[in-house]
Amino acid sequence: MGLRIESMQKLFILFLLLTVSKTASVAQDYEEFDTLSRNDFVIHAGGGLGIYHLYHNDPNSETTLTAAKIFDIGASYFIANKINAGFVFNRLKYPTNQDSAQNANSSIVGLCIRYYTLNSKKTNIYIGINLGTTTFKFTNLKTNTKVTSGSLFLEPIIGFSHYWGKHIGVFIQSSYYYTKYDKIVNKDNEPIKVTVNGKKEVFWLAFSGMVLKTGILLKF
């Protein structure tokens, strides 16, 4: 599993580099002309893949890599010609053992703000940040296990969008995602603890990694 995720991570980086290169070349083909302007309202929907390092304070487990399938929706409003703000919702599904009763997922709800460094006739390039709250849940129906946690997340982003007309477009977006669940609790709402250097500590879990998303844009 680790080798497979490492290969996916290499493909992810290669695809990101090709995307940035293609974006730069395409951007040169357009004259400055605002596709997006103040008072525009944009809805997006899509999916993606995240590859994360897992960090924790359990000395009996190693730091590992994991991946997640991502469902992404959101909406934003242009408060200026090159600045928009809005909200995002993501649903993340993590891999578990096949043919098992295990399920691991998380959800994020956050605010987003973006600045468009290129706002041309059809093509846009932007940078920005997503931040908000995230919840994590793991269940195992066979052992009647359930653990949950909540925290804040931070996600700097860079993206590329292209419109075919006045209303429909596509986007490709990459980002760096970080969150740390400081306290994970069981179904009785009791914190899970681990032994570190002979002392009991509350178990924490952090996710840090790269995310790639793509999807459809609708502008009004």
Coil vs helix vs strand at 3: helix
Q: Which domains does the chain have, with CATH numbers?
A: 2-219 (2.40.160.20)
Cβ–Cβ under 8 Å, residues 35 and 124: yes
Going by C-beta distance under 8 Å and a sequence separation of 6 or more, which residues neighbour residue 54? 63, 64, 65, 66, 205, 206, 207
> What burial letters (b/e) apply to 37-60, b meaning 16+ CB within 10 Å?
eeeeebebebebbbbbebebebee
Longest dimension (CA), the chain: 65
Query: In tens digits, what is the pLDDT along the chain, a chain of 220 residues?
Result: 444 555 555 555 555 555 555 555 554 444 444 566 788 999 999 999 999 999 999 888 877 889 999 999 999 999 998 899 999 999 999 988 766 788 999 999 999 999 998 888 788 899 999 999 999 999 988 888 899 999 999 999 999 999 988 889 999 999 999 999 999 999 999 999 998 888 999 999 999 999 999 999 999 9
Q: What does the pLDDT read at residue 144?
A: 85
Q: What does the pLDDT read at residue 165?
A: 82
pTM of the model: 0.82
Closest of 71, 61, 123 to residue 92, by C-alpha: 71
Q: What does the pLDDT read at residue 62?
A: 78
DSSP labels, 4-27: HHHHHHHHHHHHHHHHHHHHHHHH
Q: What does the pLDDT read at residue 218?
A: 95
